[in-house]
Structure 1
Amino acid sequence: MAEYDLTDKTLPYLDRHLAIPILAYLTEKTVFNVDQVRAAQYELAKGTNMVDYTIGLFKELHPDEEVPAELLSKQEKMLSTYERLNLEAQAVLDVIENPEVAQSLRQDKLQNLQYLKENYNLSLEQITALYHFGQFQYSFGNYSGASDYLYHFRVLSTDNDLNLSAHWGKFASDILAGKWDVAVDELNALKELIDSRSSTTADTAALSQLHSRTWLLHWSLFVYFNHDQGRMFLLETFLNPSYLNTIQTSSPWLLRYLVAAAVLSRKTTSGGTTMTSSRVKHALKDIIKIIEVSSYQYHDPITDFLKELFLEFDFEAAQRELATAVQVVENDFFLREFASEFLDNARYLISEAYCRIHHKIDIADLSERLNLSRDEGEKWIVNLIRETKMGSDAKIDLEKNIIEINRPPLPVYQHVIEKTRGLSFRTQAIGAALEKQTAAQVPESQPGVVEPAR
């Protein structure tokens, strides 16, 4: 499974605190050498203020060696820095948490700063102490505290650059604290900020926007595969033309998660009970076209499963790819909790595709293609017909052990719609390829707030 692991692709676009859980997960697997993974964890942790955690990793790697003096001195400096920043931040909190002050604050930040300056001698520089303390709390792993301080800072600050940095920091803090509903709100707020930047002005603005979207897509994976409705939200975001262009230009490996989300959302999209977007309703059809035009950039067993099933109509190849795809899902940090659900939905896709191109179907043959027994296959087909629109077209003859499907021909205008949609995706692919040739390499620096406080 090492050849399908995306850790080396995703880590350059993650903050070191977000990367540490991924490496910790890899230590539980046998995909890579455990000592090498722990060494990578140690190198990441050294850049944070999580001194106790770093010392623990060092002792695991070097049980017979003394803890480096630099780590011990860093621990002492961290305590003194904490006390100083805490005092500075608390002086601001004592003012803004006063009920009288809270009632006097308005939506206008400039007016609030003027009010705090005149009545409490509180300047913008002093308010920035909330940012620094929030950043420091993040650096040693107090993510809930970091989220609170960065929120208070953002409410009062008029510094656009620090506000954007605080957005990123609060988003990362909410992810690591497991506050998924709040993280979704922060994700959407960041999307609005990034999308509001004009990409038609200077080349630097376009590259900055591409850079920000690339980072945001990678960070969003933590939210989309932990929130209850995250897979639906992922389809909304990743299929947005701007973000789809970002994937095709700078991070084609994210197609794995787009395909996985489409497969995992199969039952919901077919039922149509919670859909609010036509983009999500037609996600699977659109993604198949994306795979067709983007397979030269990236492919793995998960994307190849859809390719073999819906483009090649090779059911035996699709079955083989599915067996490997399930293993890839089981070993993927973001997808590992969805292995059984992925297999279940993939079988439905095979059944639907098989029924769509055959008028008479041998239940035993279809059961074999799904790796099910005859009895399990019969139950599977019955449930499939109940849950889809095939109920009025399909009849089951249990004596002959076959399914007869009488489906009316597709109207001509529907063929035209499908062809037009295909041309749209080919146009996007050509545009992405041209932009990739002209754009500079995406910067590897990370958003500012996650830099540890010095």
Structure 2
Amino acid sequence: MAEHDLTQKMVPFLDRHLAFPLLAHLSETGLFPDEQVRAAQYELAKGTNMIDYAVGLFEELHPNEPIPDDFTEKRERAVSTNEKLQQEAQAVLDVIENPEVAQALRQDKMQNLAYLKDNYNLSLSQIAALYNFGQFQFSIGNYSGAADYLYHFRILSTDQNQLISAHWGKLASDILSGKWDVALEELNTLRDALPSSSHNDSAALAQLQSRTWLLHWSLFVYFNHPQGRILLLETFLNPTYLNTIQTSCPWILRYLVSAAILSRKSSATATSSSSRVRNAIREVVKIIQMEEYQYSDPITRFLKELYVMFDFEGAQRELSTAQRVIADDFFLNEFKDEFLEHARYLISEAYCRIHQRIDIRDLSERLNLSAEEGEKWIVNLIRDTRMGADAKIDLEKNVIQINRQPLPMYQSVIEKTRGLAFRTQALSTAMGRAQGQSAEPEAPTAVA
């Protein structure tokens, strides 16, 4: 199953600290030799100030070799740098945490800077000490401390470059601290802070790279927050971010498809869901067809077999493989049981939509369920969906009889034309690709 692992594709778009959890999970799956995974962890750790962690990995990789002197020198530099930056940052904190100062500060940053300069002789360069110390705390793995210092820095600073960098650092810190509500708020703030338009090719490329990074970082939030899968659909199906996926990171389709499947049952019954979420499966199937030449895996092929080919046996085979892919995926493994349940829901729904007379035993076999389990499953399916008024179960013959009203003509026209806008946007994207546009991954201004 190593061929389906996306870690190597995703790491270039992550801060090295965000890559550590992925590699730790990879060491548990056994997809790759343990020595290779540890070597990758060591290469990442060398670029941080987590000296003890890097030394431990070196000793595991080279048990009979002495520890390089570079680590001792780097530890000494880290200790001295920490003391120096802490003193500088503390001088600023002592001022802004003063109750009188906190009460005097306003929404206007320029007014606040003038107030701090006139009354406490604090300049913008001194306020940058909060950023520098927050950046250093992040590099040593103190993510909660980094988030606090970067938060205070953002309240006061007007330096746009450092503010964007602090946004990225705060988001990474909240993710690594497991504060998912705060991380979601930070993710939305950062998304709004990114430029929405570009005036030249260089700015457009930088914008594309930032959005590509944001898509990868957002997976941590969307697959840990309770409402994350619904929010993922609303973001990723937005034409701007869908274009980013199609252009620079088509493997993100795995998570778009998974979120659509995981949200299908709830979105079908919830009146509060947006129309984009309710129609997510339909949109995602079209995207899968368009992007198949760039990316496919058992998860995407499952939907293709089910909704494009109408091959239930093929869908069942792909689902069987998809279960193993999900079990090994860092973001999806916690949802493997839920994914299977929702996938069965989709198979049952699709099967019932194209058949008028359904043998319960036959459908149960397609769902890999026993006859008794299949019967309960189908009863619940009919009860939870809009088929209840059209379906009748004959327990003596062990069949389901479905009698549907013909679709009105105007509704048929709506169904035929619903995807015109989407196909127009997809055609525009394809024309852009034909002009030879390409982008290499480049890190945003990160805190570490």
Question: 1:272: which partner in 2?
Answer: 270
- Superposed displacement of residue 204, structure 1: 1.6
2:427 and 2:157 map into 1 onto residues whose CA distance is 42
2:181 and 2:128 map into 1 onto residues whose CA distance is 27
Mapped contact 2:260–2:280 kept (Cα < 8 A)? yes
- Superposed displacement of residue 448, structure 1: 1.7
1:94 and 1:186 map into 2 onto residues whose CA distance is 26
Question: 1:245: which partner in 2?
Answer: 243
Question: 2:57: which partner in 1?
Answer: 57
1:54 and 1:291 map into 2 onto residues whose CA distance is 41
After TM superposition, the structure 1 = structure 2 runs for residues 76-87 of structure 1, keeping only pairs within 5 Å, are 76-87=76-87
Q: 1:346 aligns with which of 327, 343, 348?
A: 343
Question: 1:429: which partner in 2?
Answer: 426
After TM superposition, the structure 1 = structure 2 runs for residues 357-372 of structure 1, keeping only pairs within 5 Å, are 357-372=354-369
Mapped contact 2:245–2:252 kept (Cα < 8 A)? yes
1:430-450 superposed Cα distances (whole Å, 9 cap, x missing partner): 222222344653243212233
Q: What secondary structure is seen at the aligned counterpart in 2 of 1:408?
A: coil
1:22-70 superposed Cα distances (whole Å, 9 cap, x missing partner): 0111111111111011000000000000111111111111111111110
CA change 1:249–1:101 in 2 (3 A) is same
Question: 1:143: which partner in 2?
Answer: 143
1:231 and 1:441 map into 2 onto residues whose CA distance is 29
> Aligned pair 1:198/2:211, yes or no?
no
2:433 and 2:171 map into 1 onto residues whose CA distance is 29
Mapped contact 2:209–2:442 kept (Cα < 8 A)? no
1:439 and 1:207 map into 2 onto residues whose CA distance is 13
Q: 1:395 aligns with which of 392, 411, 414?
A: 392
Question: 1:116: which partner in 2?
Answer: 116
> Aligned pair 1:294/2:329, yes or no?
no
CA change 1:327–1:143 in 2 (3 A) is same
> Aligned pair 1:179/2:179, yes or no?
yes
Q: What secondary structure is seen at the aligned counterpart in 2 of 1:450?
A: coil
1:376 and 1:280 map into 2 onto residues whose CA distance is 30
Q: 1:228 aligns with which of 221, 226, 229?
A: 226
Question: 1:319: which partner in 2?
Answer: 316
2:238 and 2:71 map into 1 onto residues whose CA distance is 46
Of stretches 322-331 and 62-71 in structure 1, the one that deviates more from structure 2 is: 62-71
Question: 2:37: which partner in 1?
Answer: 37
Mapped contact 1:293–1:426 kept (Cα < 8 A)? no
AA partner of residue 326 (structure 1): Q
1:365-406 superposed Cα distances (whole Å, 9 cap, x missing partner): 000000101000000000001110111010000000000001
Q: What secondary structure is seen at the aligned counterpart in 2 of 1:385?
A: helix
Aligned length: 448
1:115 and 1:422 map into 2 onto residues whose CA distance is 56
CA change 1:252–1:78 in 2 (3 A) is same
Question: 1:411: which partner in 2?
Answer: 408
**TM-score if structure 2 supplies the norm length?**
0.98
AA partner of residue 249 (structure 1): T
1:81-104 superposed Cα distances (whole Å, 9 cap, x missing partner): 000000000000000000000000
State the Cα RMSD in Å. 1.1
**TM-score if structure 1 supplies the norm length?**
0.97
Question: 1:256: which partner in 2?
Answer: 254
Structure 2 portions without partners, runs of 5+: none
Of stretches 185-194 and 435-444 in structure 1, the one that deviates more from structure 2 is: 435-444
Question: 1:285: which partner in 2?
Answer: 282
Structure 1: which 4+ aligned runs deviate by more than 3 Å? 437-441
1:410-453 superposed Cα distances (whole Å, 9 cap, x missing partner): 222223223223333322222222223446532432122333xx
1:123-165 superposed Cα distances (whole Å, 9 cap, x missing partner): 0000000000000000010000000000000000010110011
1:449 and 1:94 map into 2 onto residues whose CA distance is 27
1:343 and 1:210 map into 2 onto residues whose CA distance is 34
Mapped contact 1:248–1:429 kept (Cα < 8 A)? no
AA partner of residue 253 (structure 2): L
Question: 1:306: which partner in 2?
Answer: 303
Mapped contact 2:250–2:294 kept (Cα < 8 A)? yes
2:156 and 2:266 map into 1 onto residues whose CA distance is 42
1:438 and 1:176 map into 2 onto residues whose CA distance is 40
1:449 and 1:296 map into 2 onto residues whose CA distance is 33
- Superposed displacement of residue 205, structure 1: 1.8
Mapped contact 2:15–2:446 kept (Cα < 8 A)? no
Structure 1 portions without partners, runs of 5+: none
> Aligned pair 1:68/2:68, yes or no?
yes
Of stretches 161-170 and 428-437 in structure 1, the one that deviates more from structure 2 is: 428-437
